């Protein structure tokens, strides 16, 4: 399986992002996501596409009884292990498509900005539902369908190079997109908001919350954030397995 995060050039660029250098406080959506998280005390937590493991560390430091982070990238997981110090976190190298835990293995499943890399959202949602306890929570962020629809993930510019608007095209055509992220070609998947919500409900989740996060005042002072109020980039969802 193609894995961009183990590509040296891409990995080095990703490692220089604000969110990679500073962790959760460097992530524009963190304030909104943090508000959606439960009390981790005594909980069994799974993080799908854990990357550098920031969310695993957060759960472990906030009392989680067990934390497992899964990611496809050796480079990301090696860095996660380095950043996790003496915390009791299991990092597992595996594609999300192959994750398979018995029923009632976890109380909380997290996933931060990884699900737009998987072809079948519905299959992942069913897997998560299966491995959660009754009433367990699935809290995740993914790129917003408005952000993924067109493909290249860039603004339209005028002749002077100024941003005109964000293109939304091919919205109802779900499937792979060749996006450009950090100047590199990356394979992502677009799906509609209807599919996201319906797949969750079909699997047996109820939706507790849905947020299209906006950068806070501090983040808006960063030059790369000035246009982030013109269109949503991410979608945050908190869902609960119906008891
Ligand atoms: C944008 S990073 C997010 C990392 C981390 N969750 C965070 O928010 O800091 C996306 C992560 O998803 C992982 N990933 C992408 N496709 C995957 C797949 N099919 N299976 C497992 N992990 C995958 C990448 O290796 C990368 O670490």
pLDDT of residue 95: 98
Answer yes or no: is pLDDT of 103 > 70.
yes
Query: Ligand 1 mean position to 149 CA, how many Å?
Result: 20
- Which 3 state secondary structure label does DSSP give 28? coil
| E strand spans, 63-162 | 66-71, 89-93, 106-112, 132-143, 156-157
In this structure, the residues whose C-beta lies within 6 A of any atom of ligand 1 are 5, 49-52, 54, 71-73, 76, 95-97, 112-114, 117-118
pLDDT of residue 28: 87
Q: Alpha helix (H) ranges present in the chain?
A: 8-15, 18-22, 30-36, 54-61, 74-83, 121-131, 145-148, 193-203, 217-220
Q: Which of 13, 19, 51 to mutate to test the pocket of ligand 1 (most atoms within 8 A of CB)?
A: 51
Q: What is the CA radius of gyration of the chain?
A: 18
- Which 3 state secondary structure label does DSSP give 136? strand
pLDDT digits (tens, 9 = 90+) for 4-55: 999 999 999 999 998 999 999 988 899 999 999 999 999 999 999 999 999 9
Query: Ligand 1 mean position to 49 CA, how many Å?
Result: 4
Distance of CA 176 to the CA centre of its chain: 17
Phi, psi of 144 (to 5 degrees): -70, 140
What is the rounded average pLDDT for all residues in the chain? Answer: 96
pLDDT of residue 1: 41
Query: Ligand 1 mean position to 162 CA, how many Å?
Result: 32
């Amino acid at each position: 399986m193609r894995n961009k995060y183990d590509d040296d050039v891409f990995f080095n660029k990703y490692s220089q992002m604000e969110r990679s250098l500073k962790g959760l406080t460097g992530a524009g959506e963190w304030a909104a996501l943090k508000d959606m998280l439960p009390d981790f005390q005594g909980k069994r937590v799974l993080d799908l596409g854990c990357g550098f493991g920031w969310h695993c560390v957060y759960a472990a430091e906030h009392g989680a009884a067990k934390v497992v982070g899964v990611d496809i990238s050796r480079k990301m997981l090696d860095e996660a292990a380095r950043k996790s110090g003496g915390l009791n976190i299991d990092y597992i190298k595996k594609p999300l498509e192959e994750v398979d835990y018995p029923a009632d293995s976890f109380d909380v499943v997290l996933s931060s900005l990884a699900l737009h890399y998987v072809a079948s959202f519905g299959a992942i949602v069913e897997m998560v539902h299966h491995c959660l306890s009754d009433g367990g929570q699935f809290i995740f962020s993914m790129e917003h369908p408005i952000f993924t629809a067109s493909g290249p993930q860039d603004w339209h510019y005028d002749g002077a190079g100024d941003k005109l608007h964000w293109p939304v095209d091919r919205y109802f055509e779900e499937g792979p997109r060749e996006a450009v992220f950090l100047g590199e070609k990356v394979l992502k998947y677009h799906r509609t908001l209807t599919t996201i919500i319906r797949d969750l409900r079909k699997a047996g989740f109820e939706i507790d919350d849905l947020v299209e996060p906006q950068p806070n005042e501090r983040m808006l002072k960063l030059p790369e954030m000035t246009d982030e109020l013109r269109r949503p980039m991410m979608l945050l969802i908190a869902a609960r397995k119906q008891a």
